[in-house]
Amino acid sequence: MGAEPSALLVALAAPPELPVAWARELARGLADECARAGASVIGGDTARADHVLLAVTGLGDLAGRAPVRRSGAAAGDLVAVAGPLGHAAAGLALLTAGLTAGVRDGPLVRAHLRPAPPYDAGPEAADLGATAMIDVSDGLLADLGHVADASGVRIDLDLDSGALRPAQDLLAAARAVAGPRLHSTRTGLVTRPADATALQWVLTGGEDHSLAATFPPATPLPPRWQVIGTVRPGDGVVVDGQPWAGSPGWDHFAGWPRGDDPPGTPHLAGDLACLDAGGAHVDPLGRAAGHGADPLDVRVPAAAGAAVRVRDVIAETRPLAAYVADGSHGSLQ
């Protein structure tokens, strides 16, 4: 991480009956966010499909900086966050509970429907000497867990830090969602049901797309970077020195492996977990760097059994029709 946003590649597949107005609204939304980030749409593709499929690839420019990976945190580093925590989760909870009267245009619901990542905070953190960085999309505990695993350290969060203390808007939303229901507390420092719910949003909600980073201990941080903890020897993420009793956030592959799978059956979730724990960093050609991780070969086998040329994978500019015409598409099957 640490790059300045520069461009988007947008691929859209849609049914022919899709209203043109829908596509125009999508284009306006992309243009608005690009303007906020300082980027532009430079290309992509369109295709016909039974359902709407949208794939967006973001490109950035490191401007001579070294990329800030997940694997550089060291004992003694500060852990800091730039941007809100728990707002998107609170907005989703309000919408799910049907509590939209007077709040649909409120900041919490807007945070869920249209998050505002602090794009410029990434390059800023890199220039400040950040040792590791990640965006908070799956939940603060889950995403910092990736940093802890990749760096081989323990991250200890401090609930007394201002960024982790639920603000009044989160507490009000939690009370509205919870109503008379009772909730069990997850820490001795939280005693009221609304506090517990709001704290859960802050620590595990995700989708705010704020940035979390680690910095050398003497780093002077700008005000928007709020210190929330420290890096220590060990492993995992703890809250006030104690493990978090519950899910740390969203898990895309939760539930795998299935109970009826025979022992030793490989699963994507396990493969991704091993890759992350190994601290591997995959470049466009599929090579892994650092921490002695085994290389990953992402080349597609050709029809004749040989590997596709690297040029065919990353530099081919012919349209798909050309692949079909000369038989090259066999390597993509």
Q: What does the domain layout of the chain look like in residue ranges?
A: 4-61, 78-239
97 CB neighbour count, 10 Å cutoff: 13
Q: What is the SS3 assignment for 44?
A: strand
Q: Are strands 210-215 and 288-289 parallel, antiparallel or unpaired?
A: unpaired
Summarize pLDDT for 236-293 with one digit per residue, the tens.
Answer: 999 999 999 888 988 776 654 444 555 555 544 444 444 444 444 433 333 333 334 4
pLDDT the model gives residue 164: 92
Query: To the nearest whole number, what is the mean pLDDT of the chain?
Result: 78
Contacts of 92 (CB under 8 A, 6+ apart): 112, 207
CATH fold of 4-61 reads 60s Ribosomal Protein L30; Chain: A; (3.30.1330)
What are 292-295's contacts with CB under 8 Å, separation 24+?
Answer: none
pLDDT band of residue 176 (cuts 50, 70, 90) is confident
Which pLDDT value is given to residue 105?
62
Distance separating alpha carbons of residues 14 and 225, to the nearest angstrom: 41
Residue 2 has pLDDT above 90, yes or no: yes
CA angle 114, 19, 46 (to 5 degrees): 80
329 vs 7, more confident: 7
Of 301 and 68, the structure prediction assigns the larger pLDDT to 68
Residue count of the chain, please give it.
Answer: 333
Q: Which CATH number is 78-239 given?
A: 3.90.650.10
Residues 67, 23: contact at Cβ < 8 Å?
no
CA distance 238 to 229: 10
pTM of the model: 0.72
What integer pLDDT is reported at residue 98 of this predicted model? Answer: 83
Contact criterion met (CB below 8 Å) for 299 and 308: yes
Higher pLDDT, 314 or 168: 168
At 46-104, the pLDDT tens digits run: 999 999 999 999 999 999 999 999 999 999 999 999 999 999 999 999 988 887 665 55
The beta strand positions in 15-153, using DSSP E, are 40-48, 53-61, 78-82, 132-136
User: Which of the pair, 60 or 317, is modelled with greater confidence?
Assistant: 60
Cα Rg, the chain, nearest whole Å: 22
Q: Which residues contact 63 (CB under 8 A, 6 or more apart)?
A: 3, 4, 123
Nearest-CA neighbor of 120 among 147, 82, 87? 82
Question: At residue 229, does pLDDT exceed 60?
Answer: yes
What backbone torsions phi and psi does residue 22 show, to the nearest 5 degrees?
Answer: -65, -45
Q: What is the mean pLDDT of residues 142-170?
A: 94
The pLDDT of residue 191 is 45
Counting residues of the chain whose pLDDT is more than 70, the rounded percentage is: 70
What is the distance between the alpha carbons of residues 72 and 69, in angstroms, rounded to a whole number? Answer: 6
Q: What end-to-end distance do the CA atoms of the chain give, in Å?
A: 33
The pLDDT confidence band at residue 312, using thresholds 50, 70 and 90, is very low
Note whether 4-61 and 78-239 share their fold. no
CA angle 220, 224, 230 (to 5 degrees): 60
CA distance linking residue 118 with residue 124, whole number of Å: 10
Mean pLDDT of 285-303: 37
